[in-house]
Amino acid sequence: MDEQRLSRRRLLTAGAVITAVPVVTAAATFGGRDVPFKEGQANAPQAFDNGSAWAWFTDAEAAFITAAVARLIPADDLGPGAVEAGVPTFIDRQLAGAYGRGERWYMQGPWSPGLPTQGYQTRLTPAGLYRAAIKAVDAAVVRESRGGSFAKLAAADQDAFLQRLEKGDVALDGLDAKAFFAQLLQNTMEGFWSDPIYGGNKDMAGWKLIGFPGARYDNTEFVSKHGEKYPLPPVGIKGRVEWIRS
């Protein structure tokens, strides 16, 4: 990411309406001999932080996430589930970054719940929604006298609770339970099936489950081979599983 783009990003994240901002860089002018190609400046993706500490979640939040995603995509005889595929780490790193801060989203008021057809209308960022909702979920579990937290419930009770969240049938301290569940499920799917550089889909478990070959660049040879099983193993942006594993 170069300076020109950073300057715009600063404008965007200022949040409030901009009236005057400090001069960072002048606008870039291109043309004639100044064709803006610069060698070796690829805007490559940023891989996840591979450390073992949580970047966003508290230990209690991490316990909820780990328990919940284990029910959303469970480990079974078909193979690893969301936990084994690193989905909790994926969600943690996403929430600690630009996505968690809602950096790209319009976050100015006034706020109103709106209609379902009007989409996301909470003033919480994605990271903020997780923080508030997990606290409210565990409070609801306590209120219903079912033990200390969601993570400590039996699997069948966790499933039943998640089904209620899905329908919006849990009082979550004024939060939209349905919206939180939808976001949790979406982020779980993202972690299970995105490129492994983001911390999920460990050993390409998600891709192997369904037979998706990953970031394959050239399928020309296979377009016209109708009905034949695709023979190649999955590959990610950083290469095949065997190459990535150290």
Partner 1 sequence: MAKKLPSVDALMIGFGWTGAIMAQELTDAGLNVLALERGAWADTSREFATTFAQDELRYFWRHDLFQTTAHDTQTIRNDASQVALPMRKLGSYLPGTNVGGAGVHWNGQTWRFLPSDFVARSHNLQRYGADAIPDTMTIQDWGVTYDDLEPHYDRFERLCGISGKAGNLKGQIQPGGNPFEGPRANEYPNPPMAMSYPPTLFAEAAQGLGFHPFPQPSANMSQAYTNPLGVRLEKCTYCGFCEKFACGNYSKASAQTTILPMLMKKPNFRLRTECEVTKINLDSSGKRAVSVTYVDAAGEEVEQPADLIVLCSYILNNVRLLLLSGIGAPYDPQTGQGVIGKNYAYQITSSVNLFFDDKILNPFIGAGAHGMLVDEWNGDNFDHTGLGFIGGGYVGVVHTGARPIETHPVPDGTPAWGGAFKKAIAANYLKTMSIATHGAVMSHRGNYLDLDPTYRDVYGRPLLRMTFDYTDNEHRMSDYLTDRAADIARAMKAREIKINRRKGSWDVVPYQTTHNTGGAIMGSDPSTSAVNRYLQSWDVSNLFVMGSSAFPQNPGYNPTGTVAALAYASAAAITQRYLKAPGALA
User: Which residues, 41 to 100, sit near partner 1 by CB under 8 A?
Assistant: 41-45, 71-74, 76, 78, 81, 98-99
Q: Which of 18, 52, 59, 242 binds partner 1 (CB under 8 A)?
A: 18
Which is nearer to partner 1, 139 or 166 (by Cβ)? Answer: 166
Q: Which of 58, 105, 154, 173 binds partner 1 (CB under 8 A)?
A: 105
Q: Which of 92, 176, 190, 203 binds partner 1 (CB under 8 A)?
A: 190
**Which residue in the block uniquely carries the two structure tokens 């709106």?**
114
Q: Which of 37, 51, 174, 242 binds partner 1 (CB under 8 A)?
A: 37
Q: Which of 230, 232, 233, 243 binds partner 1 (CB under 8 A)?
A: 230
Q: How far is the CB of 131 from partner 1 (least distance, A)?
A: 19
Q: Which of 26, 53, 59, 242 binds partner 1 (CB under 8 A)?
A: 26
Task: Please answer whether residues 236 and 215 qualify as being in contact, where contact means their C-beta atoms are separated by less than 8 angstroms.
Answer: yes
What sign does the CA torsion over 205, 210, 211, 212 have?
Answer: negative
Which is nearer to partner 1, 49 or 166 (by Cβ)? Answer: 166
Q: Rounded CA gap, 65 and 91, in Å?
A: 9
What sign does the CA torsion over 142, 145, 148, 149 have?
Answer: negative
Which is nearer to partner 1, 25 or 58 (by Cβ)? Answer: 25
Q: Rounded CA gap, 73 and 83, in Å?
A: 8
Q: How far is the CB of 48 from partner 1 (least distance, A)?
A: 11
Q: Which of 51, 156, 227, 242 binds partner 1 (CB under 8 A)?
A: 227
Which is nearer to partner 1, 140 or 165 (by Cβ)? Answer: 165
Could you give the C-alpha distances from 178 to 8, 174, 181, in angstroms and in order? 34, 12, 5
Which is nearer to partner 1, 100 or 131 (by Cβ)? Answer: 100
Residues between 110 and 129 with contacts to partner 1, criterion CB under 8 A: 110, 112, 114-121
Q: Tokens standing for 71?
A: 């029910």
Q: Which of 96, 132, 139, 189 binds partner 1 (CB under 8 A)?
A: 189
Kindly report the number of other CB atoms within 10 A of residue 95's CB atom: 24
Kindly state whether residue 30 participates in binding partner 1, applying the rule CB under 8 A: yes
Return the SS3 of 75: coil
Kindly state whether residue 162 participates in binding partner 1, applying the rule CB under 8 A: yes
Residue 198 — φ and ψ, nearest 5°?
-95, 5
Q: Which of 58, 108, 142, 232 binds partner 1 (CB under 8 A)?
A: 108
Q: Rounded CA gap, 26 and 222, in Å?
A: 49
Using omega within 30 degrees of 0 as the cis cutoff, is the peptide bond preceding 116 cis?
A: no
Q: Rounded CA gap, 85 and 237, in Å?
A: 17
